[in-house]
Amino acid sequence: MRKLGLVGNPNCGKSALFNVLTDSDARVGNWPGVTVERKEGFWEGGECLCIDLPGVYSLSPYTPEERATVQFILEEKPDILLQVIDSTILERSLFLTTQLMELDTPMVLALNMVEIAKNQGVFIDADKLSNILGVPVVEISAITGEGKGELAKSLYMAVRKGRKGITVLQQDQKLWQKIQPLMQSFLGQTQGLFCSIRWLERQEKLDWEGEMAAVRYGFSVNCCNEVISEKSAGDSPTEKLDKVFLHPIWGIPIFFLCMALIFHLTFSTSFFGTGLPSPGVFLRQGAEHGMEMMRDILTVFFPKMPYWGRAFLTEGIFGGMGKAVSFLPQILCLFFCLTFLEDSGYMARAAFLFNKPMGKLGISGRAFLPILTGFGCSVPAMMSVRTLEWEKSRRIMRLIIPFFSCGAKLPLYALLVGLLFPQKGGVVIFCLYCGGILVAVFWAMILEKKINPPQKAPFIMEMPLYHLPRWNNLMRTLGRRGEEYLTKAATVILGASIIIWLAAHVNLDFHFTHDSGKSILAMVGRGLSPIFVPLGFGGGEEGWKASAAILSGFAAKEAVVSSFGVLGGAEGMFTPLSAISFMVFHLLSIPCVAAVSAFWCEERSGIRLLFALCFWLFTAWMASFLIYQTGLFGIAFFKIL
């Protein structure tokens, strides 16, 4: 089978094209650097294995995920390369083309986003471009898949014809004189021309790199002059929108307004003060009713079930896993909003707005994407940290990512807030999220000083054009998120629910007991209580339930809620203050097993892992301790007054 590598600049639509060709659902976003890992899929129409690679601006890349792309080309020897080009940025895209042309691998150019370019008044003559470059050029649409057939044909032809690398550096006498003898020494090797140029580029004494870039861009400019006919267009929609969203005064307030609106939409029980539930709360209530109905139906259908069987079903399965599942619609509601913003291109603007404050933390505005991903799930967030330029920023980010409250932590907030702060739900949860961010900021400032070397993270980022998020893409992201959540519910959370239920109903002699206070779990919980009592929970007759629930959170954060469902203890266990302390501990402590193993995969160092675990635990304990004790003091103080 033939191997087809998809290459191109970041955010040029490679993944979208990959999805269209192979009918898969790789993550797509309007942000340079969404793809951090290669993905494979079979394209039936083209009869080849497609490999979607992280975007690169050139073949002398410098972040780990960009290096992966070059490594793929050189080591895995794809049969053909398809360069996807954002037609609105032809000039810069051709810079990469001039480097790809030096390879002996057959290639085809795919002009994507032709419509958008036309709307901007840019018309590209594909045939002329093909003549100049000596490479087939095809117009395609990565959204609709238009031009797929044409593309398959030219790919087929290109592979049959084969290819010998050529270089535009030939146009420069001085460079060409340098390259020619090098080629002799690389003679017979695969990719000889490419390797000799790479070798010359790395010679540090003279600035060949700069000269080469100048020649390449010179070629690109001439090429564009030949093939582009421009008609003047007015202010593009992007420019008009940026005048508002990047306004020197209003830009930042608008950002916070957007965020507050999203939280109001998801968590408020009184939507815009009407007393009606917001869409997010409405969805959750619906799901809860659905779960209760299912439980009732099951108990009606099996009326003769023995007592323990019934208890296991209603408390263990529905109380535990069912509880966690009923929060899914609300979580999806939050993700819908965040994905909408990311897809539209707004999040890249947020990175621009906040570069200065973030620079002070040793990370750049680019860290916005990992952070945003972190609000969804810490695992992909740990992975997307790879797109940052400095190892230092990457290390800081990996440590603080768990403080950006992930979706799995949300059910617990929703549960406790519903019980203890029914009127102020949205506000409390918003404060928790902000609190997590503040803790992250606090630690980043310290880590920035402690981790060597003391250099600043660079910020270079393309501002993508705004576009209206596509419904398909939004639904696909949500579908994937829902699927992940349900899979987790059916495996880890179900398992944890069963274990918790059993441990809560079996005593030390391994007999079933009705008094869960004498169960194994209660013993364990009480054993842990001394750690948690200063934080305001874990003490008293029922307190072991809170300790046990926190413990189950290491399997999966949703399991904390399912544990409460199984143990039936959340009502009446907390005061408002201890509930907040509990939520803060839940937010900041060690993330779930999956996130910890993602951390391990990226760092590969036992000492750093141990440090991280202690770091998270310490942060959570200290924060909860301070909040609870200060709160107690405050309450006592007001009572005296």
> Is 454 a binder of another protein (CB under 8 A)?
no
> Is 404 a binder of another protein (CB under 8 A)?
no
Beta bridge partners of 40: 51
The correct pick among 15, 22, 83, 88 for binding another protein (CB under 8 A) is: 88
The correct pick among 77, 356, 514, 518 for binding another protein (CB under 8 A) is: 356
**Where does residue 339 fall: left (phi above 0), alpha (psi -120 to 50 degrees), or beta otherwise?**
alpha
First to last CA, the chain: 81
SS3 category, 554: coil
Enumerate residues 6+ apart whose C-beta is below 8 A from 571. Answer: 419
Q: Which residue has the tokens 């793929």?
A: 72
> Is 355 a binder of another protein (CB under 8 A)?
yes
Q: Which residue has the tokens 């994407």?
A: 369
> Is 351 a binder of another protein (CB under 8 A)?
yes
> Is 123 a binder of another protein (CB under 8 A)?
no
Measured in degrees and rounded to the nearest 5, phi and psi for residue 3 equal: -110, 125
> Is 166 a binder of another protein (CB under 8 A)?
no
CB of 341 to another protein, least distance (A): 17
Nearer Cβ to another protein (252/437): 252
**Residue by residue, what is the 3-state secondary structure of 78-106?**
CCEEEEEEEHHHHHHHHHHHHHHCCCCCC
Please state, in angstroms and rounded to a whole number, the distance separating the CA atoms of residues 33 and 56: 9
> Is 29 a binder of another protein (CB under 8 A)?
no
CB of 239 to another protein, least distance (A): 8
> Is 353 a binder of another protein (CB under 8 A)?
yes
> Is 391 a binder of another protein (CB under 8 A)?
no
Nearer Cβ to another protein (210/306): 210
Q: Given the rule CB under 8 A, which of 103-111, 292-300, 452-460, 566-574 is the region that contacts another protein?
A: 452-460
The correct pick among 45, 309, 357, 527 for binding another protein (CB under 8 A) is: 357
CB of 607 to another protein, least distance (A): 27
Nearer Cβ to another protein (120/326): 120
Q: Which H helix or E strand runs over 138?
A: strand 137-139
Please state, in angstroms and rounded to a whole number, the distance separating the CA atoms of residues 422 and 401: 29
List, as one string, the DSSP characters of 492-542.
IIHHHHHHHHHHHHBBTTS-B-S-GGGBHHHHHHHHHHHHHGGGT-S-TTT
> Is 364 a binder of another protein (CB under 8 A)?
yes
CA–chain centroid gap for 395, Å, is 17
The correct pick among 359, 380, 418, 576 for binding another protein (CB under 8 A) is: 359
The tokens describing 443, both together, are 């630690």
The tokens describing 209, both together, are 């790199």
The correct pick among 23, 44, 91, 235 for binding another protein (CB under 8 A) is: 91
Nearer Cβ to another protein (288/462): 462
SS3 category, 457: coil
DSSP letter at 248 equals: T
Considering only residues 331 to 350 of the shown chain, the ones binding another protein according to CB under 8 A are: 348
CB of 248 to another protein, least distance (A): 5
> Is 252 a binder of another protein (CB under 8 A)?
yes
The correct pick among 2, 38, 67, 92 for binding another protein (CB under 8 A) is: 92
> Is 33 a binder of another protein (CB under 8 A)?
no
Count of residues touching another protein (by CB under 8 A):
41
> Is 54 a binder of another protein (CB under 8 A)?
no
CB of 90 to another protein, least distance (A): 7
The correct pick among 277, 319, 365, 525 for binding another protein (CB under 8 A) is: 365
CB of 397 to another protein, least distance (A): 17
Nearer Cβ to another protein (145/359): 359
Considering only residues 189 to 248 of the shown chain, the ones binding another protein according to CB under 8 A are: 209-210, 213-214, 217-218, 242, 246, 248
Enumerate residues 6+ apart whose C-beta is below 8 A from 113. Answer: 12, 13, 86, 87, 88, 142
CB of 69 to another protein, least distance (A): 13
Nearer Cβ to another protein (247/514): 247
Considering only residues 461 to 520 of the shown chain, the ones binding another protein according to CB under 8 A are: 461-463
Considering only residues 55 to 84 of the shown chain, the ones binding another protein according to CB under 8 A are: 57-58, 60, 62
> Is 256 a binder of another protein (CB under 8 A)?
no
The correct pick among 157, 233, 294, 460 for binding another protein (CB under 8 A) is: 460
Question: Which string of x and - marks every residue 411-450 that binds another protein (by CB under 8 A)?
Answer: ----------------------------------------
The correct pick among 50, 70, 81, 90 for binding another protein (CB under 8 A) is: 90
Structural Rg of the chain based on CA atoms: 28
CB of 85 to another protein, least distance (A): 13
> Is 249 a binder of another protein (CB under 8 A)?
yes
| Spatial contact of 278 and 269, defined as CB atoms under 8 Å apart | yes
The tokens describing 525, both together, are 């919980």
| Spatial contact of 579 and 587, defined as CB atoms under 8 Å apart | no
Please state, in angstroms and rounded to a whole number, the distance separating the CA atoms of residues 562 and 573: 16
Please state, in angstroms and rounded to a whole number, the distance separating the CA atoms of residues 62 and 260: 37
List, as one string, the DSSP characters of 288-323.
HHHHHHHHHHHHHH-TT--HHHHHIIIIIIIIIIIH
Q: Single out the residue of 42, 4, 1 nearest to residue 158, CA to CA.
A: 4
Nearer Cβ to another protein (4/461): 461
Nearer Cβ to another protein (454/540): 454
Enumerate residues 6+ apart whose C-beta is below 8 A from 39. Answer: 15, 18, 24, 26, 51, 52
| Spatial contact of 399 and 443, defined as CB atoms under 8 Å apart | yes
> Is 8 a binder of another protein (CB under 8 A)?
no
* Contacts to another protein by CB under 8 A: 57-58, 60, 62, 88-92, 95, 209-210, 213-214, 217-218, 242, 246, 248-249, 251-252, 348, 351-357, 359, 364-365, 389, 456, 458-463
